[in-house]
């Protein structure tokens, strides 16, 4: 089976779920979570089928720039949907569903750069899984921080929009942000440890910048969490540190892939 059909089906369902949720929020109504979840689950099924075929297009994992983007978007949506079962983060789907739609289409239609297949040894797969889950949780954290910033700004200026009116209180939003940060930082720590254990040489030429920037990102998130615990950091300071750590992490992964695959062609 060709990945085109599941890719198009996933994109259409993501777009439909986004439209449904957006229209409900525009009317200041909460979307029916059962219907929204059904649309997202079916979209994830097709997205997963498309990803599986694209990742296994050759021996080993074809984890090029667009496939990696699609895989991380997939993991972010899965994590957000699971989180919705326990905590009020369904508004994040309004951001992540269009991201899923875009990345599944890019992975299908844009040519990939040069990328050697990734070894499918169990240790390497554990490292990849931990890395992608950490990226997913920290992506949720950064968008949560941006929503927190928007909510704080609108409440201070006393003109909250329909979307903001559906948000939990500021204190709850901030607690959710640090919950995502703690979980993401722990998984990032495990990812770095698994890299040391299973990757033959983390400081090889094609991995050195990724490793160094990931370690810098780890330090930034560690300082932020320490500052929260010891100094009570919150608000704009917490948001700035979150964004700084996220930028380093994304530059480590996607920046290196972009340069290697589309500029250096190695």
* Domain match, 54 and 186 both: no
Q: Are 245 and 192 in a shared domain? A: yes
Q: Is 258 found in the same domain as 150?
A: yes
- Predicted TM-score (pTM) of this structure: 0.84
pLDDT (tens digit per residue) in 130-140: 988 998 899 99
Same domain assignment for residues 266 and 134 = yes
DSSP run (H or E) holding 96: helix 93-109
Looking at the structure, tell me whether residues 60 and 177 fall in a common domain. no
State yes or no: pLDDT of 206 exceeds 70. Answer: no
26 and 155 part of one domain: no
Alpha-carbon gap, residue 50 to 148, rounded angstroms? 34
CB 252 within 8 A of CB 158: no
The structural domain count of the chain equals 2
Of the candidates 256, 175, 265, 178, the one whose C-alpha atom is nearest the C-alpha of residue 212 is 256
If asked whether residues 177 and 132 sit together in one domain, one would say: yes
pLDDT tens digits, residue range 163-193? Answer: 666 677 778 888 889 999 999 999 999 999 9
| Residue partners of 7: CB distance under 8 A and separation at least 6 | 46, 47, 50, 104, 105, 107, 108
What is the C-alpha to C-alpha distance for residues 61 and 37, in angstroms, rounded to an integer?
A: 29
Q: Are residues 177 and 102 in the same domain?
A: no
pLDDT for residue 20: 95
Asked whether residue 110 falls in the same domain as residue 139, the answer is no
Choosing from 83, 117, 151, the residue where a domain stops is: 117
pLDDT at 14: 98
CA dihedral of residues 71, 164, 172, 43 (deg, nearest 10): -30
Domain closes at, from 117, 132, 157:
117
Answer yes or no: is pLDDT of 256 > 70: no
169, 151 in Cβ contact below 8 A?
no
Separation CA 163–CA 34 (nearest Å): 20
Q: Cα separation of 55 and 67, whole Å?
A: 7
In this structure, are 255 and 155 located in the same domain? yes
Q: Of 117, 135, 161, which residue is a domain's last?
A: 117
- 248 torsion bin: left (phi>0), alpha (psi -120 to 50), beta (else): alpha
Q: Inform me whether the pLDDT recorded for 115 exceeds 80.
A: no
* Average pLDDT across the chain, whole number: 85
* Domain interval for residue 249: 119-266
Mean pLDDT of 120-146: 87
Beta bridge partners of 61: 118
DSSP secondary structure string for all residues of 128-183: HHHHHHHHHHHHHHHHHHHHHHHHHHHHHTT---HHHHTSPPHHHHHHHHHHHHHH
Q: Which residue has the tokens 């204190």?
A: 171
Q: Are residues 151 and 173 both part of a single domain?
A: yes
Nearest to 162 by CA among 94, 208, 209: 94
Counting DSSP H helices and E strands in the chain, the numbers are: 10, 0
Residues 33 and 38: their CA atoms lie apart, in Å, by: 8
């Amino acid at each position: 089976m060709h990945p085109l059909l599941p890719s198009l089906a996933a994109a259409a369902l993501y777009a439909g779920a986004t439209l449904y949720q957006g229209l409900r929020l525009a009317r200041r109504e909460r979307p029916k979570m059962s219907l929204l979840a059904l649309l997202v689950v079916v979209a994830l099924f097709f997205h997963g089928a498309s990803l599986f075929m694209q990742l296994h297009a050759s021996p080993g994992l074809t984890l090029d720039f667009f496939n990696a983007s699609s895989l991380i978007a997939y993991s972010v949506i899965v994590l957000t949907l699971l989180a919705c079962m326990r905590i009020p983060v369904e508004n994040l789907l309004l951001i992540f569903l269009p991201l899923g739609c875009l990345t599944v289409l890019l992975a299908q239609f844009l040519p990939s750069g040069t990328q050697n297949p990734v070894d499918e040894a169990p240790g390497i797969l554990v490292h990849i899984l931990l890395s992608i889950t950490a990226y997913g949780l920290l992506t949720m954290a950064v968008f949560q921080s941006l929503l927190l910033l928007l909510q704080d700004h609108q409440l201070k200026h006393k003109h909250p929009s329909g979307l903001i009116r559906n948000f939990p209180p500021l204190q709850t939003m901030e607690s959710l942000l640090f919950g995502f940060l703690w979980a993401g930082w722990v998984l990032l720590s495990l990812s770095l440890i698994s890299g040391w254990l299973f990757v033959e040489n983390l400081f090889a030429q094609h991995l050195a910048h990724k490793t160094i920037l990931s370690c810098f990102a780890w330090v930034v998130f560690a300082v932020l969490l320490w500052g929260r615990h010891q100094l009570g950091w919150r608000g704009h300071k917490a948001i700035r540190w979150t964004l700084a750590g996220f930028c380093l992490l994304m530059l480590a992964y996607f920046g290196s892939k972009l340069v290697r695959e589309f500029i250096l062609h190695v």
